[in-house]
Every structure is written in C-alpha cells, then in structure tokens.
Amino acid sequence: MRSIEDRLKILLSTIGNTRIKCMNVDGIDLCFKLEYDNPTGSHKDRTAVYMIKGLIERGKIKEGECVAELSSGNTAVSVAWASSFLGLKSLLLVKEYASNIKKNLVRLYGGELLIVKKDTSVKDAKNIAEERGCVFLNQDANEDNFLAHYETTGPEILNQVEEGFDFFIMGIGTGGTVTGAGTRIKEKLKNVKIAGVVPTGSALSEKRGGGFKPIEGLVSSKIPELFERHKNVVDFIVEVSLEEALKAIREIFRRFLILPGPSTGANFVAFQKLVRDGLIEKGQRVVTIAADQLIRYPELLKNVTNLL
C-alpha cells in the first residue's frame, strides 16, 4: 500500500500541463488555456490538490481523516476526486443552484454531498465542517489556492507563450487564478496588464445589486479574502452579464472550435470590451482561460441554444 505522500506525488503529476489554443481575432492574437484538460475537467484540480498538499505537508491531516469545502461546483468535484485518491474522506457543501452534473460528479468521485442555500456563508460552512470533524479547506482565503496558480498555471502560460503577451484576462471567483497566475506573469513580463472579470451587479461591480444574475464559478455577493489580499496585481475589473457570457460561447465555438462554460464566455466578452475601449490594441497578444466546458452545465445548454 502506497503512503499518502507517495500518492500525493502521483496526484501532482496529473494536474496541469494543459494545452493552449491561440487564434487571431480581428488583428489580435487571443489564446485560451484549456483548463478543462485537467483530470476532472477544470482548473480547480490544481487548487484542490494544492490545498490538500498544504495540509499533508503541515501535518494537519492523515489518511482516513476528512476535508470539507464550500463550493459552487468545480472545486467540490476536484476536492472529492483528490481526496478519494489520497484515502481521505470529503464533505462537500454545494450551493443549491450548482448544476446537477457537478452534484452527481461529487458523489461519483466518492465525496459526501451536502446541498446548502445560496446565501450560506464561509463561517456557516466552517462550523458545519468542524461539527462533522472535517478540516475546512476554505478556498476563499487559502494561500495554497493562490500558490497553485503561482507555481503551476503562471509558469505554464509563460512557457507556452514564450514570445510574450500584453494582457491576461480571467474571471474572479476566489481570485486564486487571476492573482496567482497574474503575479507570476507580472514578475516576468513587467508590462502585462491583468484584467479580472466579474458578473454585473456582483460584490465587485461598480453598481451592486439590481437584477444580479450569478455566473457559475464567479464572485457573487461577497468579496473573497484571497482576492482582497492580492488584488493589487489586477489592473482592471470588467463587468459582464450572464446573458452576454452565454451569447459569447457561440462566438468562441465559431472561432476556436471549442465549447467552453459560461465563465469562459465572460472572459471572451471582457476581451471584446477591452478592445472596444481601446485598452487592447491590434497587433497585441492576449491570454485567457477556458476554465471548463459547456457540457458541465446541461441546464444551460437550452439557454445557449435559444440565444443562437
């Protein structure tokens, strides 16, 4: 029987090294890093493995013990997957609006699923986790989430786009990807601008509230601690509505022949808005992320089709 440390090494070798797909969009090179290449289908595999790695390395968890997380879906799936492989139990508090496929994947990977209300706070989740004897991972504040992208996503992008680039765009959920990869990118390419993408009406919008419609995976009513800590690396916040994000999926498909999820649609709309506002110019190169795929959102397939 392999030790948990040995299994962790194997797990680490399975995350990342995802492909990157670049196309010319009206005179600008736009590259999508295809994070759905990760084992469970999103960039959150990196975060989950790093957060659990941190606990193992600090002696905070042993085989057979339990980790817990509050997540709108992708992180929950990744934590269930990583825990199973490592011989840990996992308790996933998934918001009621998350797609059924994500909820089923959590179960399939061997996690315990607890559906919670959409306004469940991190504090409530931590209490529930601790009552159940689980270590709460807390992706919204956990530095290992930042580190996952600082040590893996950022360097991969820099290697894959070795000729350099001008802009990095990514949706803000916890902010782990945009700040972690963004910090690493700016260390090497000093002039790169970083844009974070948020749903219109969310906590990071200029105008909060109104007809706020969440985009799954992106920030909703509360600003995550992790983002607060590292937000200085972000130069622009771009607001995108759910409808704009869904409409953009079709255009991404037409241009890139990929069918990503709604947060990737939002990244593309942010790209278009930055071009429209003259912040991205012809001849420049831009990198963004395709966090997951549309098939992960069967409930949305109809909405996207209706928008065609």
End-to-end Cα separation, the chain, in angstroms:
53
128 contacts: CB under 8 Å, gap ≥ 6: 68, 93, 114, 116
- Does position 177 interact with ligand PLP (CB under 6 A)? The reply is yes
- Does position 199 interact with ligand PLP (CB under 6 A)? The reply is no
Nearest distance, CB of residue 218 and ligand PLP, angstroms: 6
Nearest distance, CB of residue 289 and ligand PLP, angstroms: 7
- Does position 174 interact with ligand PLP (CB under 6 A)? The reply is yes
Binding mask 284-303 for ligand PLP (x = CB under 6 A): -------xx-----------
Residue whose CB is nearest to ligand PLP in the complex, by number: 217
- Does position 172 interact with ligand PLP (CB under 6 A)? The reply is yes
Dihedral (C-alpha) 300, 97, 205, 185: value to the nearest 10 degrees? Answer: -80
Nearer to ligand PLP by Cβ, of 18 and 42: the residue is: 42
- Give the Cβ contact number of residue 45 at 10 Å: 27
Q: Are 73 and 99 in contact (CB under 8 A)?
A: yes
Nearer to ligand PLP by Cβ, of 148 and 161: the residue is: 148
- Does position 176 interact with ligand PLP (CB under 6 A)? The reply is yes
- Does position 183 interact with ligand PLP (CB under 6 A)? The reply is no
d(CA 88, CA 111): 9
- At how many degrees (to 10) do helices 4-14 and 74-86 cross? 140
Q: Please, how many CA atoms are within 13 Å of residue 139, restricted to the half-sphere of its CB?
A: 33
Interface stretch with ligand PLP, choices 16-24, 121-129, 160-168, 172-180 (CB under 6 A): 172-180
Question: What are the backbone dihedrals phi and psi of residue 102, each rounded to the nearest 5 degrees, phi first?
Answer: -65, -40
Nearest distance, CB of residue 74 and ligand PLP, angstroms: 4
132-150 exposure pattern, b = at least 16 Cβ within 10 A, e = fewer: eebbbbbbbbbbbbbbbbb
Within positions 90 to 129, which residues make up the interface with ligand PLP, using CB under 6 A?
A: none
Sign of CA dihedral 295, 297, 299, 303: negative
Nearer to ligand PLP by Cβ, of 85 and 297: the residue is: 297
Within positions 58 to 87, which residues make up the interface with ligand PLP, using CB under 6 A?
A: 74-75
Q: Are 203 and 221 in contact (CB under 8 A)?
A: yes
Within positions 205 to 224, which residues make up the interface with ligand PLP, using CB under 6 A?
A: 217-218
- Does position 184 interact with ligand PLP (CB under 6 A)? The reply is no
Nearest distance, CB of residue 125 and ligand PLP, angstroms: 15
**Residue of 90, 263, 272, 288 that binds ligand PLP (CB under 6 A):** 263
Task: Tell me the CA distances in angstroms from 1 to 16, 86, 229, one per residue in order.
Answer: 26, 12, 40
Angle at alpha carbon of residue 130, lines to 129 and 133, rounded to 5°: 95
Within positions 5 to 34, which residues make up the interface with ligand PLP, using CB under 6 A?
A: none
Total binding residues toward ligand PLP, as defined by CB under 6 A? 18
- Binding residues (CB under 6 A) for ligand PLP: these are 42, 44, 74-75, 171-178, 217-218, 261, 263, 291-292
